[in-house]
Amino acid sequence: MDTAQPLLTVFILAHHSLLSGGIASTLSEYGSVLNVRLIDSEAINIHEIVQTESPAIIILDAGDSDICRKTPVTQLLEWAPKAKIIHLDLASDRIRIFSSLELQVTHVVDLVGLIQSLSKSELII
């Protein structure tokens, strides 16, 4: 029985970004666990490919103003609601991670409980 994990699909969205090219090259060395694709915003219909292929991770270079303007994080999360968006910002040496969480809330008390539980959750690195 094959117990191998499926490859994790990672899109790197760019428009002539040297950082994105370097990240794609580096991550491609992990081909046994990652399926990395460098997507040029001018080459294809990003909307269609993101919705069709449903990547697990989408990486954006915060310094690539063309890609950030054309594909805002909120739009990417709408196209691929299960994806995690990693926003690399070399200027501030930061990585921001965005994800979408959709829950049905019918009462204000549900919203209060959600807010309280979100305030207690932390990313452990």
Residues 86-98: b if buried by 16+ CB within 10 A, e if exposed: bbbeeeeeeeeee
pTM for the predicted model, two decimal places: 0.80
CATH of segment(s) 8-120: 3.40.50
Tell me, what's the pLDDT at 117?
A: 80
In 3D space, the residue among 28, 30, 27 whose CA is nearest the CA of residue 5 turns out to be 30
Looking at per-residue pLDDT, the higher value among 51 and 101 belongs to 51
Q: What percent of the chain has pLDDT over 90?
A: 28
List phi, psi (to 5°) of 23.
-65, -45
**pLDDT given for residue 3 in this prediction:** 59
Give per-residue pLDDT as tens, 15-62: 767 788 889 899 999 999 999 998 887 766 888 888 888 899 999 988
Mean pLDDT within 96-107: 83
